[in-house]
Amino acid sequence: MSLMLSEIEQQPTAIEKTIKRESKKIERFAARLRANRPRLIVLVARGSSDNAALFGRYLLETTTGIPVSLAAPAVHTLYKAKLDLRESLVVGVSQSGEGVDINLTLENAKRCGATTLAITNEAESSMAKLCDEAFLIHAGRERSVAATKTYTGQLLIFHLLARALSGGKEELERLPEFAAEALKLKPDVAAMVERYAFMEQCVVVGRGLNYANAYEFAIKLMETCYVVAERFSGADFLHGPIAMVDSGFPVFVFAPPGPTLKGMKELLTKLHGIGAETLAISGDASTLKAASRGIKMPRVDELLSPIPYVIPAQLFAALLAEAKGLSPDQPRSLSKVTKTV
């Protein structure tokens, strides 16, 4: 078994550990923020962590009402901009905590008056030490270059932070259970990847809280399977990019029950008319019927769906890499820690 597959299977345990060890710390931090509510939250990340930050933006804005921005690190590192970040919370998201441009952005944010927060898997990392507070992903060492358990760990931290800030009642303690249920889909995923063994390009579509998963699935296909994978929101896809799709073109769609479902079903119907090869990840029976093939998910509220829904996508990428005769653990030209400025 590849390291990537092994680490995918560790996710229920990592999620449970993180909930147990970080919840109280996050609640205390959120109580301080509620007493001095930030006017803005800025998220700083790269790679898969940036995809997790995209989820954090949707989740925090919809649950807390605080505007959230995704930072452009070059504004800080290359252009040396002086921003007014008073009354702002700037959050760095990094598996290793050693991304140079992320840390430089956080340092500049502190100089500009921001409160800084680290979300990382490494307690002794540079990022954890320079920020005012650090929340840890208790995933253990991630040895595969492709991030899996740290990505879902980052999603979980955003869940915990959003619940603590908003006073929500979401049953986050059920997420290990939902993740374990998603892992049971491995035989179903393994049975379908051979069909895609010669796939060279595709599109991945998601919207709302699962838009980040479209980005994450695409990056996994690119880095482990060397597939050119474009990613779009369901709305943006209809504003032009759908024109590249013709008969047999692969399109992967995240379609959980909830506010985004109607639009995703309409998109699948349109793609069926074009003759596209569609694969839907959904817990809705009629949506699965609208696709060429589907991965049937357990019923879960959309708010809690991103973690379980990304797991079959992770499995698909790891198993497809093996079907292509590739190692998903050591993608060419990549290393575990990427340092850019």
Mean pLDDT (the chain, rounded): 95
Question: How does residue 181 score in pLDDT terms, banded at 50, 70 and 90?
Answer: very high
When pLDDT is averaged across residues 162-175 and rounded to a whole number, the result is: 96
128 and 50 co-located in one domain: yes
What was the pLDDT predicted at 329? Answer: 87
* Model pLDDT, residue 238: 86
Quick: pLDDT tens for 86-116: 999 999 999 999 999 999 999 999 999 999 9
Does residue 333 sit within a domain?
no
Average pLDDT of the residues in 322-327: 95
Domain count across the chain: 2
> Which structural domain, as residue segments, surrounds residue 271?
184-323
pLDDT in tens, 51-91: 999 999 999 999 999 999 999 999 999 999 999 999 999 99
Q: Are residues 208 and 307 in the same domain?
A: yes
Has residue 334 got a pLDDT over 70?
A: no
Confidence of residue 128 (pLDDT cuts 50, 70, 90): very high
Are residue 194 and residue 170 in the same domain, yes or no? no
Q: Is the pLDDT of residue 137 over 70?
A: yes
Instruction: Establish if 341 belongs to a structural domain.
Output: no
> Is the model's pLDDT at 307 over the cut of 80?
yes
Residue 331's pLDDT band, with cuts at 50, 70 and 90, is: confident
pTM: 0.96
Q: What is the mean pLDDT of residues 155-168?
A: 97
Same domain, 262 and 143: no
Asked if 160 contacts 60 with a C-beta cutoff of 8 angstroms, the reply is no
- Same domain membership, residue 226 and residue 126: no
Do 160 and 78 belong to one domain? yes
pLDDT at 336 over 70: no
pLDDT of 337 > 60? The answer is no
Residues 107 and 233 in one domain: no
Q: Give Cβ neighbours of residue 121 (< 8 Å, ≥ 6 apart).
A: 95, 96, 97, 136, 137, 139, 142, 150, 153
| 3-state secondary structure string across 126-188 | HHHHHCCEEEECCCCCCCCCCCCHHHHHHHHHHHHHHHHHHCCCCCHHHHHHHHHHHHCCHHH
Partners of 69 in the β-ladder: 42
Same domain, 171 and 190: no
Least confident of 155-164, 257-266, 303-312, 331-340: 331-340
Question: 157, 175, 193: which is the final residue of a domain?
Answer: 175
Q: Could you give the C-alpha distances from 165 to 24, 135, 207, in angstroms and in order?
A: 13, 15, 24
- For residue 46, which of 82, 98, 8, 81 has the smallest C-alpha distance? 98
CATH number of domain containing 212: 3.40.50.10490
pLDDT tens track for 144-158: 999 999 999 999 999
User: Tell me, what's the pLDDT at 339?
Assistant: 60
Q: Which percentage of the chain shows pLDDT scores above 70? A: 97
Any domain includes 329:
no
Tokens of 86: 């008073």
pLDDT 10s digits, 195-204: 999 999 999 9
- Both 152 and 86 in one domain: the answer is yes
C-alpha closest to that of 202 among 151, 146, 241, 235: 241
Q: Kindly indicate the confidence band of residue 250, based on its pLDDT and cuts at 50, 70 and 90.
A: very high
Contact 183, 9 (CB under 8 A): yes
